[in-house]
Chain A
Amino acid sequence: MSLELKISEIYKTYNGNPILRDCSFTFAAGRTYALQGPNGSGKSTLFRLLALLEPPDGGRVEYREDGRVLAHDLTLRRRFTLVLPGTGIFNATVWQNVAFGLQIRGFGKAAIRDRVEAALTAVGLATKKQQRAQELSSGETKRLGIARAMVINPEILMLDEPTANIDPANTAIIEEIILTMKRQRLATLLLITHDPAQAERLGDELLWLKNGKLITT
């Protein structure tokens, strides 16, 4: 794992209003970053830019490896992922949702089965694999979103408010999942949270967005 993410002088406006201004930072491989900031401060926008879902109005988003800047192509996009706050769960079974990322990469049936089972076990949804994803609770849906991302072994995993609007029990489960991934150091983790205590618990480094500026501790 050597994928590094660097942003330089990022600028983004919506309807003429600047949301992000002159944001620069380097996310080192293997670290966990917790991003905080008030509602509307541009946290989700920043993550969408990092995930290449939309381009910045100014500045650069660079993925680097061994000092080289990588092209924003499909090969690169398949090395990281973003779990959106509204997870975007497909109208299919839990198993089919998790298998999606592997199927589109052309994995074989046996590999898909093993990896999906492992991911579902890791998030505590193995017993619900045949259930329709729409029937899950909101906490379980969040966990499914994480399983769907984990299964593709991303080198950078971005989680946009992974514990928003869910009960304490599910929050604890998700925090434990994140802490396990952090301990294993298999991916660089970036997460957005509104809970300062959670940011302290999970993050190696804490970041804030204030008035469009990215502030580090």
Chain B
Amino acid sequence: MHSIFAGVEAACRLIISLNPELRRIILLSLQVSGLALVVATLLGLPLGALLALRRVPGRGLIISLLNTGMGLPPVAVGLFLYLLLSRSGPLGFIGLLYTPAAMVLAQAILAFPIVASLSQTALAGVDPVIRQAAVTLGATPFQETLTVIREARYALGAALMAGLGRVMAEVGAILIVGGNIAGYTRVMTTTIALETDKGNFELAIALGIILLALSFSITVALRFFQRLGGPGTAVNP
């Protein structure tokens, strides 16, 4: 018990002093997860919109695959990506393994089905009369889609927060493809795992507190978006 309190005390000191190593790890975590979310959004939102608003062959199957993808095991994704990116793998020539880019890719793969599936649900939930009203007022198909996206903006915000929540807390995939290299690919979750193994609890607890604070912020933001959207527009992460 004493060691826990001592660890928390030392962790608080680390946080307050904004230890450079701690700062670097937090910054890289935010960069990797933020970029992964951007990639997942750039691919997932248009796919969600396409599935929700247009007639697409195999729509039901694609939605089922995306829903399945929401529960993808991170270690399996990490392993699959490792095999692709390793020197002997089909994409080994790119030299991405053990780089932050590989971590972004892994997290984007995990966030993509969440963003796409929840976006599809959010956009399909918009009253069809809204689309028709936009058309009758002279909207082009693109403007019509933008109108629906704007109507679902709060539920879409919640979808993005759900995607971010997933990748921020992820450890398995980025550990495999990032390699947890100090000063290069070490992020909060992988550092916590490593430092705990080493018995160095101060940094692990400090990062744990920050990660919890970030998760809490994401949850609060999620609730905020869901409340703004009102009944019927909320999506479950």
Residues of A whose CB lies within 8 Å of any CB of B are 51, 53, 74, 77-78, 81-84, 86-92, 100-101, 104-105, 148-149, 152
Contact = CB atoms under 8 A, between A and B. Distances in A.
Contacts of A86: 127, 129
Nearest to B151: A91
Nearest to B153: A91
A81 B127 CA distance: 19
B129 A104 contact: no
Interface string B120-151: 00000001011111111111100100010011
Contact of B129 (A88, A92, A149, A152): A88
Interface of B: 127, 129-140, 143, 147, 150-151
Given A88-B134, A149-B136, 10 more contacts: A53-B135, A53-B136, A81-B136, A83-B136, A84-B133, A86-B129, A88-B129, A88-B133, A104-B137, A104-B140
A11 B147 CA distance: 32
Contacts of B129: 84, 86-88
A83 B135 CA distance: 11
7 contacts: A74-B140, A81-B138, A82-B136, A89-B133, A90-B150, A100-B134, A148-B133
A90 B140 contact: no
Secondary structure of the B contact surface, majority rule:
helix
Contacts of A78: 138
A132 B77 CA distance: 45
**3 closest Cβ pairs, A-B complex:** A88-B133, A88-B129, A78-B138
B43 to A, nearest CB: 26
A88 B147 CA distance: 11
Nearest to A53: B132
Nearest to A52: B135
Given A90-B147, A90-B150, A104-B143, A81 B137 contact: yes
Contacts of B134: 88, 100
A91 to B, nearest CB: 6
A81 B138 CA distance: 8
